[in-house]
Structure 1
């Protein structure tokens, strides 16, 4: 046993100073002097080779990671696995891959950056734009992006408190329930092609007093050619009188080309919105409220939602309650109220498990049964 310990000590010391070939010669001499048996030498040699291979593999992976994640090119993405139960659907239980996004971004040169994102479940080039940011008070963005309308619309699905977007925002901010979907048969996810300027003004030390966003957009949604000779305009201004509390509003003015009920052909229709927004955030609490009024081709619409979220364990476990009202035609009061409760558990950084329950109360004019929906989702961000 003493011989073995002595041999191991010699082998370890020598391995720090010599490459693989000298090690092989050392083991050979230790066998010749009967300090090690041949089996012991073979075992040590195999272990040394394995460690060398492992180190080589780790170094190779690190080189690949560094090659694909430089200041000029960085990759990331996320996936959402969704379970849904609905007491009014024919298929009450459903498990599906909701979205899988992959994005690439980088800095071209000083003050210039780019971003591109692709969704693979329903393949769509969701975002692609270039930013010029000479200062924090001015950013120019050109490409396909989220429009600066509605606080909720600025959230990624990976940061939104609920699994799905609030119905009123989805219907009035260019998402799946908006009349814009009639134009290109897509959930445009609050995005469009255009030019936007934005920034933060008046630094108060702990926060900026003013946040603004102005944009001119094509008005056709994701990866869709122009359908008329007009462009859409949007503007939003938020004041932050104290750190964490914002209040403000804005508008969106444009047109959409679609066929209304009772019409035989597609035509251009007014698509205007006005919004008042407010939110508050600290280490444990987040609250948000928004009121949206809209005019879609002469049909007056209105939506309002409020949400409150509390972290029981900071950055780990939170719960929220949300109430949402949407009137999709104020002339006949086609209304629905959604009441949602939910929890979010973060098991690793931005990765989380989510559970939501929503009760929807429809008016007679909506022509839909009241429903109970349970959603569960696993979110993986990489």
Structure 2
């Protein structure tokens, strides 16, 4: 027999007050017990759940009038810390520890179609890496404006925390706006606008991704362009089967570089591919570039394999680069062997050994590197 309405109401209020500091699961368990004992109907219990949810949300809104909470869609904060040790075979170079990267990433969604990201580097000289917003009209059409990665080179576009090796390849560092580029190390970034998206869906995945952008060509974290010419870049990726990506890209522009510095041609082109099957991942990339009158090119191939799933990964890489096609004796070849151990999803340690070989005169300049990475 059901209890009179007044008695049931008093009993219900007593339970709510005595459990107000308890966890949500405890409240749910109590409600289920009351339903089984016919103290409450299912409809009454659902009404209580709804009222409680409204009250909890009101508390959050009162505490935070702008509806911004760390970890929600509106504001997400994450970071990256990489501590590195380098041991040099070559005389004149000191073995040393260094803070490779220390970064803070702030991003979020303005609404379902509009998001933003601000990414800052604190290791060495503080630099603003990314500061952009993206508006999505549909999967096939997205607009991005601000400072962000130039869509050229697969390895350049891979996040620093997701690289299989500590360092990027020679050709990528030289031709993708990184450490050996004629315009200086721009961390692969520039200021501009781009459109992109995915189209032609088949078997629950898109066949094509595309990106086309217009950039200053002067690099990142700068106040103004150093020439009136705007650089253009495009990238197209095909996914013929699941987990296989094949891409081609181009970059046409003018850079301000040289001795003395002047506006000169700075063009690039290349293609790359990556295939993942189980614990095995295979990746290769070829890039070529023209800087003024100098033509350069290079390529790399690599393979990684998890011998212990999600824990222990072995890696091998061949990396070759020719900084001047006219000179026949300046190509360098790197052979890299590596081990990655993942403590969990946030921490890993990497050990790489790089065997460097010059085309004519062999220099004893091999390197052993290890890096501890923490993400949050």
CA contact (8 A) 1:327 1:336 kept: yes
Name the SS for the 1:67 alignment partner.
coil
Q: Once the two structures are superposed, what CA deviation does each residue of 1:90-125 show, in whole Å capped at 9, x if it has no partner?
A: 243201111100011111123110000111112000
Choose the corresponding residue for 1:276, options 255, 271, 293.
271
Counterpart CA distance in 1 for 2:236 and 2:18 is 66
Name the SS for the 1:227 alignment partner.
coil
The residue aligned with 1:357 is 353
Choose the corresponding residue for 1:76, options 78, 81, 87.
78
Query: How far 1:89 moved relative to its partner?
Result: 4.6
Counterpart CA distance in 2 for 1:227 and 1:286 is 41
Choose the corresponding residue for 1:123, options 122, 126, 130.
126
| TM-score, structure 1 as length reference | 0.78
Counterpart CA distance in 2 for 1:313 and 1:208 is 31
Counterpart CA distance in 2 for 1:279 and 1:18 is 54
The residue aligned with 1:198 is 196
Q: Once the two structures are superposed, what CA deviation does each residue of 1:32-79 show, in whole Å capped at 9, x if it has no partner?
A: xxxxxxxxxxxxxxxxxxxxxxxxxxxxxxx99x83333211111110
The residue aligned with 1:371 is 365
Instruction: State how 1:58-207 maps to structure 2 within 5 Å.
Output: 67-121=69-123, 122-181=125-184, 187-207=185-205
Query: Which stretch shows the higher mean deviation, 309-318 or 213-222?
Result: 309-318
Query: Is 1:380–2:374 an aligned residue pair?
Result: yes
Counterpart CA distance in 2 for 1:248 and 1:259 is 31
Counterpart CA distance in 1 for 2:362 and 2:215 is 34
Q: Once the two structures are superposed, what CA deviation does each residue of 1:262-283 show, in whole Å capped at 9, x if it has no partner?
A: xxx3211100011021111133
Counterpart CA distance in 2 for 1:256 and 1:267 is 8
CA contact (8 A) 1:362 1:370 kept: no
Counterpart CA distance in 1 for 2:370 and 2:19 is 57
Choose the corresponding residue for 2:342, options 335, 339, 346.
346
The residue aligned with 1:238 is 237
Q: Once the two structures are superposed, what CA deviation does each residue of 1:316-354 show, in whole Å capped at 9, x if it has no partner?
A: 221110011100011113211011010111112032100
The residue aligned with 1:221 is 219
Q: CA RMSD in A?
A: 2.4
Counterpart CA distance in 1 for 2:140 and 2:280 is 28
| TM-score, structure 2 as length reference | 0.80
Query: How far 1:240 moved relative to its partner?
Result: 1.3
Counterpart CA distance in 1 for 2:362 and 2:314 is 29
The residue aligned with 1:293 is 288
CA contact (8 A) 1:133 1:139 kept: yes
* Contiguous gaps of at least 5 residues in structure 2: 1-16, 21-62
Counterpart CA distance in 2 for 1:268 and 1:312 is 50
Counterpart CA distance in 2 for 1:194 and 1:370 is 42
* Contiguous gaps of at least 5 residues in structure 1: 1-15, 20-62, 182-186
CA contact (8 A) 1:283 1:314 kept: no
Name the SS for the 2:160 alignment partner.
coil
Question: Larger radius of gyration, structure 1 or 2?
Answer: 1
Instruction: State how 1:8-47 maps to structure 2 within 5 Å.
Output: none
CA contact (8 A) 2:182 2:258 kept: no
Counterpart CA distance in 1 for 2:188 and 2:362 is 25
Q: How many residues align?
A: 317
The residue aligned with 1:56 is none
